[in-house]
Amino acid sequence: MHALRRNPITPEAYTEPSSVAFRVGTPTMPQRDPNIAELPAAAPDPVRHPLVEMLIIGAPTVVTMTSYTVMQFIDGMMVAHIEPASPVYVAAQGNGGMLVWVALASMLGLLSIINSFVSQNLGAGTPEKGAAYAWSGIWLSALAAIVFLPYALALGPIFGAIHADEQLVSLETSYAHMLFAGAFLTLASRGLANYFFGMHKPAIVMVAVITGNLVNVCANAVLIFGAAGAPEGTPLRAVFLSISQTLGVEGMGVTGAALGTVIGTAFELVIPLCVFLGPRWNKAYHTRAAWRPSPKPIKNLLRVGWPAGLMMGNELVCWGYLMAVLLPMGGRAQVAATTNLVGDALVEAQAGEGVIHNSAGWIALRFMHVAFMPAIGLSIAVSAMVGRAMGMGRPDLAAARAWLGLKVTLAYMGVCALAFIVFRNDMISVFLPEDMGPSDRAAVLRVGATVMIAAAVFQLFDACAITMSAALRGAGDTLWPGLATIVLSWALIVGGGHLMIWIAPQWGSIGPWGGAAGYIVVLGLALLTRFVRGKWRSIRLAEPSEGDEALLSAARPPECSEEAIAGVTPGQA
């Protein structure tokens, strides 16, 4: 756009491009705070197609979320090669991480609302208000890390009550304790990331996450295997081995993978924090001055964000219950239903089969992450774009961006569903070491391949649930989706999982996976219905200054095209 300034997006910034008739009336915005400095004017910005605009904003978020998935994927592959070969290491890492995320998820959901407040203020022309929400997220993260300590200390008994295998309990408890040591880093980094997503600057987060993941992988190679060295074929194996021997690092196994994650997460926080507090960003938005805890933004985050936090926390509880309880339970039920074993022989066989089904489930879930984490990355962009459009007073534009995001996500996850079916055996085999016992290998492959088929069934519905949830969240509609998620997850994941084990124990863990698939299908349809009904259109999170409403009405003439507004990319600092 001609003469578009980089800092706030204000109606007078929309001037008439040569190909689109689009002119704003004579009203002017109220005087901005003279203490807020403007960044230099941007070069003329050509009109872009909405899809191009979405990809410009969405591509870095997709890379960011995919990078998280790659980190989990590589962590799983590395712990799978701990000697002596056993499926217990993958199960321990998955279970330990899941129960940590169960606790953190409620805060992560609440912190995701920072995106909505920041993006709506960006669209309303008051981007400097967003800094207070970023700081509020940091303060809330520090408080949450302290509140979660009793839960962290109770994880050992919790795991002991769930699993009979003593080695599994010891490993998953150690892994979880180490992750909890970095809880503040995890929460604060995600809160600050949502600030930059809301400011439409996802590339900053992308650089931080990629750097953190590279650090995590390198730290893993040293900490997991120590002086024994990473497996043959590991890139830079000799370098990592030399570091381990020089420092006298003893292999920490699964616990080393958790410590590597904490170290990598520290980089994910420090990099965007340096940008946020840097002279350029501070000059434009006074980010340093907003450091003190401010009651109003904290109250706003709690008021709008608690349903999103409850939604994510509850969903992780149910998925954690599926992975840590229902899948092993399904494996044990299958042994009892399909064999004539009794007494100690039955107990021993059930314990082994429970680990098999648990490990197969975690391996399959790693590939599900490959499908839905990029979709979540795109949904973050959808949320930010919907929020900006709502801040501009354009619910019609918000709806158009949501539908466009849904189309792209459906296409991607449809391809993933096809791959899950065609390459299911090859995918599961990636996580199975060559020296794993042939009976264990065959059992994990059999269960995992069947789970991949179940996952393929619900991919398109998952795309719908992810995108519509993000669009509603960007508009500020969080209560109804949160309540719907709670009811459906407990009814279908937990209740449905137990029901399937009871009526079809011979199916093993596939029964609970059927309940989880039913949950995703129903949730996707429910959120789609909620969005179509349009109650979110009347919500506005940004608080306009006096006189803004009249100006915004004058600034959106009916002949304004989506392509014209798509050409406006605010926050290009």
258 and 161 housed in the same domain: yes
Residue 253 included in any domain = yes
Residue 289 included in any domain = yes
The model's pLDDT over 401-420, given as tens digits with 9 standing for 90+, comes to 999 999 999 999 999 999 99
- Whether the pLDDT of residue 20 is over 80: the answer is no
pLDDT value of position 543:
65
37 and 55 housed in the same domain: no
Given 47, 67, 83, which residue is the final one in a domain?
47
Does residue 437 come out as left (phi exceeding 0), alpha (psi in the -120 to 50 range) or beta? beta
40 and 56 housed in the same domain: no
The model's pLDDT over 25-63, given as tens digits with 9 standing for 90+, comes to 333 334 444 444 444 333 333 445 667 767 777 777 777
pLDDT value of position 112:
87
Residue 480 included in any domain = yes
- Whether the pLDDT of residue 518 is over 90: the answer is yes
Between CA 23 and CA 470 the distance in angstroms is 32
* 421 CB neighbour count, 10 Å cutoff: 13
18 and 70 housed in the same domain: no
The domain in which residue 37 lies consists of 1-47
Residue 404 included in any domain = yes
Show Cβ contacts of residue 157 under 8 Å, excluding neighbours closer than 6 positions. none
Between CA 339 and CA 461 the distance in angstroms is 37
What are the φ/ψ torsions at residue 226 (nearest 5 degrees)?
60, -145
289 and 413 housed in the same domain: yes
Are 4 and 566 spatial neighbours (Cβ–Cβ below 8 Å)?
A: no
Structure tokens that stand for 566 in this block: 């798509």
What are the φ/ψ torsions at residue 99 (nearest 5 degrees)?
-70, -25
The domain total for the chain is 2
427 and 490 housed in the same domain: yes
19 and 139 housed in the same domain: no
Are 39 and 282 spatial neighbours (Cβ–Cβ below 8 Å)?
A: no
The model's pLDDT over 300-327, given as tens digits with 9 standing for 90+, comes to 999 888 888 888 888 888 988 898 889 9
Between CA 397 and CA 395 the distance in angstroms is 5
Most confident of 60-64, 82-86, 362-366: 362-366
381 and 439 housed in the same domain: yes
Chain mean pLDDT for the chain: 81
Query: What separation in angstroms does the CA of 236 have from each of 78, 209, 221, 233, 491?
Result: 14, 21, 9, 9, 48
Residue 554 included in any domain = no
- Environment class of residue 59 by beta-carbon count within 10 Å: exposed (0-12), middle (13-18) or buried (19+)? middle
417 and 467 housed in the same domain: yes
- Whether the pLDDT of residue 13 is over 60: the answer is no
Show Cβ contacts of residue 176 under 8 Å, excluding neighbours closer than 6 positions. 96, 97, 99, 100, 152, 155, 159, 258
Residue 545 included in any domain = no
Q: For residue 226, list its beta bridge partners.
A: 250
267 and 384 housed in the same domain: yes
Residue 375 included in any domain = yes
Half-sphere exposure of 137 (CA within 13 A, CB side): 34
The DSSP code sequence of 45-109 is: -----HHHHHHHHHHHHHHHHHHHHHHHHHHHHHHTTPSSP-THHHHHHHHHHHHHHHHHHHHHH
The model's pLDDT over 527-550, given as tens digits with 9 standing for 90+, comes to 999 999 999 998 877 665 544 444
* 18 CB neighbour count, 10 Å cutoff: 7
Show Cβ contacts of residue 170 under 8 Å, excluding neighbours closer than 6 positions. none
pLDDT value of position 239:
84
364 and 485 housed in the same domain: yes
Query: What separation in angstroms does the CA of 371 have from each of 315, 357, 418?
Result: 18, 21, 11
34 and 52 housed in the same domain: no
Show Cβ contacts of residue 295 under 8 Å, excluding neighbours closer than 6 positions. none
Q: What is the distance, to the nearest Å, from the Cα of residue 213 to the centroid of all Cα atoms in its chain?
A: 15
Residue 561 included in any domain = no
Residue type, 44: P
